[in-house]
Structure 1
Amino acid sequence: MSNPENPNTVETGPLLAIPGELEALTPSQLLKQVEYLHSLLLSANRGLWEWQPDFGVQRATGNIWHLLHQDPEQALSNIWTGDLGQVHTEDREGLQALRNRLCQQGSFVDTTIRAYSREGQPIWLRLWARAQVDSLGQRFFIGGCTDYSDALNARSLSYFAGERFHYALEAVGDGLWEWDLRVDEVVLDSTCWRMLGYTRGQRDSDVRAALARWKTHMVPEDYPLVSQAMDDLVREALPLDVEFRLKHRTGGEVWVRCRGSLQRNSAGRPVRVLGTLQDVTEDRKLRQKQDQELNRLRADRRERVDLLSSLSHELRTPLNAILGFSQMVEMDLSLNPDQRQRLVEIRKAGQHLLHLVGDVLDLARIDSDRLAPSIEPVQPATLVADCRQLLDPLAETRKVSLIFEPLGWERAYILADPMRFKQVVLNLIGNAIKYNRDNGRVVINFAPQAEGWLRLSVLDTGRGIAAEKQGQVFEPFNRLGAETGQIEGTGVGLAIAKQLTEAMGGRIGFDSEEGQGSVFWVEFLLIDAPAEVLQMASRPDYTRMLPSCSVLYVSSRASAAGYLKAVLAAVEQVQVHSVGDAMRAIFSARTTPPDVIIFDGELPGMAPSDFVTILRADPSTRRVPLLMIDDTHRGGADAWLPKAYDLNLLAEKLRFCLLRQGVEVQSED
């Protein structure tokens, strides 16, 4: 302080005088004291406080306290004299120890603590005071409090996820929150509260009440989901990313996306969760609108497919009548050549229209996902060979050489729907033949591609596709100008081939040069041969071990009897006789006992167990082996055959039954 008697001298003395020193101060020194106290009281980030530990009396004044609570004395209690509710959990223990020490002894305190403002914002506070003694000899503390957040900003970054990061989040509208697991306290910044419609002074400053208040705004139906997500984060260390609804203070709902990360102490125990909160209400509304539009489009598509399906049936009936009657009229020998030619044109036009109706219906079914492929392991070379055989007559008619070169991939397997795969191949090869030149060639081959794909290529020597039209190749009903020519077609085949290929998980494409021809290709991922194929390859050929024998097959299904006869058609030494019901089978077995009786697990009018009992009770059929076709071992038969059987498995079971009867069969050697 300056001496009024000598302005050029500087007086020494305490910045804040104690009561005993005030009497010795000069007027200028007293004025300095008043000015200093006045500056403390009016400063936006300072304040005074007084504390009498023996009596529990406290007092606080100044603007700094309103940053913490609307009541200055409550603010002082929250950071020093009371439960320290607004002090960061990591600073509470040390602050309590300091306070207890001052109660016993000590005359000065000057410490920096971390606290939370009324807005939930993290701040640094410098708290200092000196011990004084009143006229009764009682100690009391008087001092000041200052907001030191700016001065200690570098330190606060490590504790509060960074002020800069916080400002960045505020700039994009995201809020920041912190959950202290040790004391179950949640701190939310002002952005989080603004999402609910709260402004400064409208919510609890007690951080322990923040979580309870937040829960009151959560939509009850969403609380279990959020609780489970939080529990998974803490217990299982799973990522926290959950969306839920909050009730806005003024009504309505707010969708928020909550994300967070877990922090552990040096012992590996969870101590804190730091996270962000994002208002995604508009995104949710947009997604809901998009979902509604998508559902509407799906409904429209279903209605369109139903309409096309109905129309196709309505069109096919008169078209079939037109085709039928035109063929009948063509057989009339009294027709002259002109009349016969006109009937041929009518029939050709009707067949073209019938094919067009079928293609349109297929395209609509694929588009509506009603024509879902049935995926299974298949050998593409076998399917392509079948397609080639079907298209050989068309190639001969068009004078086109059809060449298939598997190139060693005959035993390769892919995952596809056999029928749909053949439909794709027929479309590609059929187009290659139709749009070829006279005496041209179509070459079909396989070639491996990168990452385990197998490519089937169909090369033709036709006119090729102009570069400006290649982007329209897979468009439905677009024949790229060929609709004016003599070649029949609907322009739907390649569109169907593309959608079917992609539905089966494959890829389709082409390369073409005008005047040179085109190569259309499809690709599917290679797979290992199915386990049953490997097992069949290692099994003996039981068909060669069967002796001459007779088999009685009992089934009410003509298709099942036809299948068994077809399977055994190549085994000439086995004679099959089939009957349609159990009673006829019993009569036939008694009159002409067979070597083996095969029967279905579902016999009309009689349980399989009763059928077996009757045959076992009759001396003429007692020793005849019984083979039951069923996926469950029931009915008391000697052996069982699954419903999905092949020749080798059937031969193996027949050999087993004949051995039981004592018939001499060849050994596996």
Structure 2
Amino acid sequence: MKKISAKNLRKSFSLLISVFTIAVIAYFDLKTGERIAFSSLYLLPLIYLTWEWGIKTSVIFAVLCSFLRFSLDKSTIIFTDNYGIPYFNFIIKLSAFTSVSYLVYLLKKLILREKALSRLNSEMISAISHEFNNLLTGIHLSSTLLRDEEGEKLTREREKLYRILDQNYTVMMQNIKVFLNKARLESGKLKLSLEETEIRRIINHTLEMLAPLTFEKNLTMIKNFPDSILLISCDPDAISMVLSNLISNAIKYSPNGGEIILSISEVSEKEVEISVKDNGIGIARNDLGKIFSGFYRTAEGSKQAKGFGIGLKVSKELLALHGSNLEVDSEKGKGSRFYFKLPKH
């Protein structure tokens, strides 16, 4: 026996529902006559049919609904002055029904086109990011090998050049990861893998990765961690991405010689709060609602450091998948504190 696909089953169901709805509307239309106008309600099944079956089926049913209304007019209304009124009503109703059906058809085409373009865009970003990732990894490995070969012969000037390479590699890898996660989020391909995780390990690993940037600005990293081990339930890669975004932002917008405070605290028996606080440029109140929108940067932030302005949006969406929320306390010129909560394991 041939198996019926879910799509065909849904379409068949939509046809039955539409026919039943039209019959119900026609029944009440017949019973109430001119006292209550039910004509506009025929649009509901027509819109449904257009969405599921397309414009051709919808036009056929538009003609059917118009003819049905015409028959009701002929049977319930006595037109003593002008017998052409039912025919005029038929033309008006048919025009209205077909016009709405066509508009819904165009709307669906636009939505599907937008989805296709968005999917193509995500796939292109993902492919390009992977290529850049491979190239950067090769460059970084070559740089590391050259540095190791020089050994004790390494001069101060060349050491500075290698540090610049490390810094640029760190920044570029950070940007690539952000774009990759953005593409996965938009395409729906990002799936969380929750597991028992020691949050301090993720933070320490992130700090090691961002060490070249911290060293360049002579920043002090202060860790306010509890003595006991705190296990949380999360996707380690996703939370690592979130922390990497928050800490790298804190580094970018902190002054040379500034300090960044990383805190872990138990806010309840079931939740742990993780926060990243800096003493940098801060965020103006009217910008606080915009920084999570994507590709948005404040005027002060654009002057302070380069970037794309999507890291916070990606971080917020990754946390939303965990059932959490990225929040911020900030004041212009007085630094920022970003924080979120995760469940204990």
- Shorter-chain TM-score bucket reads 0.5 to 0.7
Correspondence for 1:507:
325
* 1:198 and 2:17 are equivalent in the alignment: no
Correspondence for 1:390:
205
TM-aligned CA deviation for residue 339 of structure 1: 4.7
Structure with greater helix percent? 2
Correspondence for 2:167:
348
**Contact 1:391/1:430 (<8 A) preserved:** no
TM-aligned CA deviation for residue 318 of structure 1: 3.5
- What secondary structure sits across from 1:400 in the alignment? strand
Correspondence for 2:7:
none
CA–CA distance in structure 1, aligned partners of residues 285 and 188 of structure 2: 32
CA–CA distance in structure 1, aligned partners of residues 76 and 323 of structure 2: 58
Structure with greater strand percent? 1
Decide which of 229, 242, 246 is 1:428's aligned counterpart.
Answer: 246
When normalised by structure 2's length, the TM-score is 0.59
Correspondence for 1:295:
112
Decide which of 440, 457, 466 is 2:284's aligned counterpart.
Answer: 466
Shift in alpha-carbon separation, 1:196–1:347, aligned structure 2, 3 A? same
CA–CA distance in structure 2, aligned partners of residues 283 and 429 of structure 1: 52
- What secondary structure sits across from 1:372 in the alignment? coil
Decide which of 317, 340, 344 is 1:522's aligned counterpart.
Answer: 340
Unaligned runs of 5+ in 1: 1-119, 123-159, 176-191, 206-248, 255-278, 530-669
Q: CA RMSD in A?
A: 4.6
TM-aligned CA deviation for residue 433 of structure 1: 5.7
- What secondary structure sits across from 2:323 in the alignment? coil
Offset from partner CA, 1:546-591 (integer Å, 9 cap, x none): xxxxxxxxxxxxxxxxxxxxxxxxxxxxxxxxxxxxxxxxxxxxxx
CA–CA distance in structure 2, aligned partners of residues 280 and 427 of structure 1: 52
Shift in alpha-carbon separation, 1:371–1:196, aligned structure 2, 3 A? same
Offset from partner CA, 1:423-461 (integer Å, 9 cap, x none): 32443355446645624533332435xxx9957251524
**Contact 1:403/1:441 (<8 A) preserved:** yes
**Contact 1:465/1:514 (<8 A) preserved:** yes
Decide which of 377, 397, 400 is 2:221's aligned counterpart.
Answer: 400
TM-aligned CA deviation for residue 329 of structure 1: 3.7
**Contact 2:261/2:278 (<8 A) preserved:** yes
Correspondence for 1:169:
37
- What secondary structure sits across from 1:444 in the alignment? strand
% identity of equivalent residues? 20
Offset from partner CA, 1:178-235 (integer Å, 9 cap, x none): xxxxxxxxxxxxxx97553625786799xxxxxxxxxxxxxxxxxxxxxxxxxxxxxx
Write the letter of the residue equivalent to 2:137.
N
Write the letter of the residue equivalent to 1:421.
I
TM-aligned CA deviation for residue 403 of structure 1: 0.6
CA–CA distance in structure 2, aligned partners of residues 349 and 309 of structure 1: 21
CA–CA distance in structure 2, aligned partners of residues 174 and 476 of structure 1: 41
| Structure of greater relative contact order (alpha carbons < 8 Å, 6+ residues apart) | 2
CA–CA distance in structure 2, aligned partners of residues 348 and 432 of structure 1: 15
Write the letter of the residue equivalent to 1:363.
K
Write the letter of the residue equivalent to 1:428.
L
Number of residue pairs aligned between Structure 1 and Structure 2: 273
CA–CA distance in structure 2, aligned partners of residues 304 and 355 of structure 1: 20
- What secondary structure sits across from 1:303 in the alignment? helix
TM-aligned CA deviation for residue 370 of structure 1: 1.5
Decide which of 308, 326, 333 is 2:143's aligned counterpart.
Answer: 326
Unaligned runs of 5+ in 2: 1-27, 43-63, 78-89
Write the letter of the residue equivalent to 1:441.
I
Write the letter of the residue equivalent to 1:471.
G
Shift in alpha-carbon separation, 1:489–1:429, aligned structure 2, 3 A? same
